[in-house]
Amino acid sequence: MSLPTRFPKNFKLATATAAYQIEGAKELDGRGISTWDAIRSEYGRIRDDSNPTLSCEGRLKYKEDVALLAKIGVTSYRFSISWSRILPNGTLSEINKEAIQYYRDVCLLLRDNGIEPIVTLFHFDMPLAIYDNGTSWLNKENCEHFVKFADLCFREFGDLVKTWITFNEINMQAWSSVVKIQGELWLCPDRPEIENHEQAPYIAATNMLLTHAKIYRNYEKNYKETQDGIIGITNGGRFCFPASDSPDDQAARNRALDWLFNYTIEPILTDSGDFPATMREKLPFLPKFTDEEKEMIKGSTDFLGINYYLSHMVRDISDDETPTSQSERDASYAFVEGKWEKICGETWVRYAPDGLLALLKYVKEKYNNIPVFITENGCMNLIGEEEKKEEDILNDKHRIKYITGHLEAVAKAIDNGCNVIGYTLWTLMDNFEWDDGFAVKFGICRVDFESPEKTRTMKQSAKYYQTFIREFKKHHNLL
Ligand code: BGC
């Protein structure tokens, strides 16, 4: 059986983007300033120090981009709605009608092309006015503003959008709510510093979990029946393997998994309605949920989104060791270099499809076989590639290997009874890669950032995915 034919007929084969990473058009239709506009404008903050106005101009080129998606043939497209574009101040005090029309146009065009929209409500960028109002997700008032934003989105787009994702990677965002995305402090001169940086990410994550649950319950009560949609949450997925068979390393690996993966979903997906027990033991300051909150959080998702890029090998640490990252320190473990291929060169991505398979089996066992949507998976261009000729950049064999390996892992997981409902390739086109600016490119389509048209060209990986999807559709008579 060929790989594409191993996926069931209703399986989704998607690709994805996020608003801040592709849209550009910062001032168009009255969009408000977002946190990432501010981070980018700080000299030296972004790796390539890129011109803060550089972008793929996705806001203006959406018709072309939908045509590209249709050409590739994806069943679904995951994108995010920019909170700053819809609500320039972050609150309902000003609603941007043109921005609403813009996202409706995108959805309508997708529908005309037979592509299902999957919408993320929060993908890392927050209106700056809200952030300044009191350190982002540490402030419960801001959480309420987001609940209202989500409600507005259900009202305005719910006739067209049937799959929603509240948050992209709460654990990552918990860091960037007070610090930058990769964990470096964001000490903007006029921004208040919180008192205890070590506690802040956990408090922010707790607030986001509660916010997620409120949004879920609102959708369930007021929209689900009439709009007939589903709503989930996306978690960063990194599987952990123990560095040896020793009980200490095994226990360290379990703690690492709790901190890196279970932390932001265990309250939702288990009967405890609470954080992993190891975290409760080690972090006395971890906020406590009331019984009412636990009831609200428990079961508050229709599916689990997982973004997967790599796995880790971990070991226990001795009492006198102080690892560098806060997660390692708090949970008492250390990363060990794994055996996986550095498929893009010296970067953080690893070619670890075995980790994805193990993770999916783990989720099946631990979380009662909840439906899983792989909401991101992909790899960056080869390091040093910018010096290469365009035709070589387009010939991204390493990415084809990466995609094939992971799709194989998903097919194996399905054979093993894992309830995987979709796979999403990150990302449709080269775009703004947060701290790395435009120095790192994950696109299956190349963007010529020098050209005024920001020309998109399909790389070999996009063509590979196109052929893959065509075969899948042909097999199931979906063409
Ligand atoms: C994020 C994306 C990002 C990707 C690669 C994911 O965690 O959701 O926005 O581009 O990682 O770094």
How many residues in the chain?
Answer: 479
The pLDDT profile of the chain, 479 residues, written as one tens digit per residue, is 999 999 999 999 999 999 999 999 988 889 999 988 988 887 777 888 767 789 999 999 999 999 999 999 999 999 999 999 999 999 999 999 999 999 999 999 999 999 999 999 999 999 988 887 766 788 889 999 999 999 999 999 999 999 999 999 998 888 665 554 444 444 433 444 555 677 888 888 999 999 999 999 999 999 999 999 999 999 999 999 999 999 999 999 999 999 999 999 999 999 999 999 999 999 999 999 999 999 999 999 999 999 999 999 999 999 999 998 888 999 999 999 999 999 999 999 999 999 999 999 999 999 999 999 999 999 999 987 777 788 888 999 999 999 999 999 999 999 999 999 999 999 999 999 988 899 999 999 999 999 999 999 999 999 999 999 999 999 999 99
Relative to the CA of 168, which ligand 1 atom is closest?
8
* Atom 5, ligand 1: residue with shortest CA distance: 433
Question: What separation in Å is there between the alpha carbon of 427 and the centre of ligand 1?
Answer: 9
Identify which of 168, 434, 440, 444 to mutate to test ligand 1's pocket (most ligand atoms within 8 A of the CB): 434
Contact 180, 39 (CB under 8 A): yes
Q: Residue 46: its pLDDT value, please? A: 83
Question: What separation in Å is there between the alpha carbon of 376 and the centre of ligand 1?
Answer: 8
* Atom 10, ligand 1: residue with shortest CA distance: 433
Cis peptide before 226 (omega within 30 of 0): no
Q: How many C-beta atoms lie closer than 10 Å to residue 232's C-beta? A: 25
Identify which of 123, 433, 440, 444 to mutate to test ligand 1's pocket (most ligand atoms within 8 A of the CB): 433
Residue of 23, 116, 376, 433 marked catalytic: 376
What span, in angstroms and rounded, lies between the C-alpha atoms of 36 and 391? 33
Q: Residue 454: its pLDDT value, please? A: 97
Confirm or reject: Cβ of 376 under 6 Å from ligand 1.
yes
What span, in angstroms and rounded, lies between the C-alpha atoms of 323 and 314? 12
Confirm or reject: Cβ of 169 under 6 Å from ligand 1.
yes
Q: Which residue has the tokens 């409902």?
A: 421
* Atom 9, ligand 1: residue with shortest CA distance: 18
Amino acid at residue number 243: A
Q: Residue 138: its pLDDT value, please? A: 82
Relative to the CA of 434, which ligand 1 atom is closest?
10
Confirm or reject: Cβ of 168 under 6 Å from ligand 1.
yes
Question: What separation in Å is there between the alpha carbon of 343 and the centre of ligand 1?
Answer: 17
Question: What separation in Å is there between the alpha carbon of 380 and the centre of ligand 1?
Answer: 11
CATH 3.20.20.80 is right for the domain spanning 3-313+342-475? yes
Q: Residue 50: its pLDDT value, please? A: 67
Confirm or reject: Cβ of 430 under 6 Å from ligand 1.
no
Q: Is 409 helix (H, G, I), strand (E, B) or coil?
A: helix
DSSP one-letter string for 224-292: HHHH--EEEEEEEEEEEEESSSSHHHHHHHHHHHHHHTGGGTHHHHSTT-S--HHHHHH-TTSPPPPHH
Angle between helical axes of 140-157 and 200-222 (0-180°, round to 10): 30
Q: Residue 187: its pLDDT value, please? A: 42
Task: For residue 376, indicate whether it is catalytic.
Answer: yes
Confirm or reject: Cβ of 433 under 6 Å from ligand 1.
yes
CA proximity to 314, closest of 333, 290, 298, 301: 333
Q: Residue 64: its pLDDT value, please? A: 98
pTM comes to 0.96
Report the run of H or E that residue 34 belongs to, with start and end. none
Identify which of 20, 442, 444 to mutate to test ligand 1's pocket (most ligand atoms within 8 A of the CB): 442
Q: Is 457 helix (H, G, I), strand (E, B) or coil?
A: strand
What span, in angstroms and rounded, lies between the C-alpha atoms of 97 and 89? 14
Copy the structure tokens of residue 37: 């506009």
Q: Rg of the chain over CA atoms, in angstroms?
A: 21
Question: What separation in Å is there between the alpha carbon of 447 and the centre of ligand 1?
Answer: 18
* Atom 3, ligand 1: residue with shortest CA distance: 433
Contact 192, 135 (CB under 8 A): yes
Q: How many C-beta atoms lie closer than 10 Å to residue 390's C-beta? A: 10
Copy the structure tokens of residue 372: 């899983």
Residue of 116, 169, 293, 328 marked catalytic: 169
Q: Residue 18: its pLDDT value, please? A: 98
Question: What separation in Å is there between the alpha carbon of 174 and the centre of ligand 1?
Answer: 14
Confirm or reject: Cβ of 307 under 6 Å from ligand 1.
yes
CA 296 → CA 321, 335, 351, 354, distances in Å?
Answer: 39, 35, 38, 35
* Atom 12, ligand 1: residue with shortest CA distance: 433
Confirm or reject: Cβ of 179 under 6 Å from ligand 1.
no
Question: What separation in Å is there between the alpha carbon of 25 and the centre of ligand 1?
Answer: 21
What span, in angstroms and rounded, lies between the C-alpha atoms of 52 and 59? 16
Task: For residue 169, indicate whether it is catalytic.
Answer: yes
Question: What separation in Å is there between the alpha carbon of 275 and the centre of ligand 1?
Answer: 24
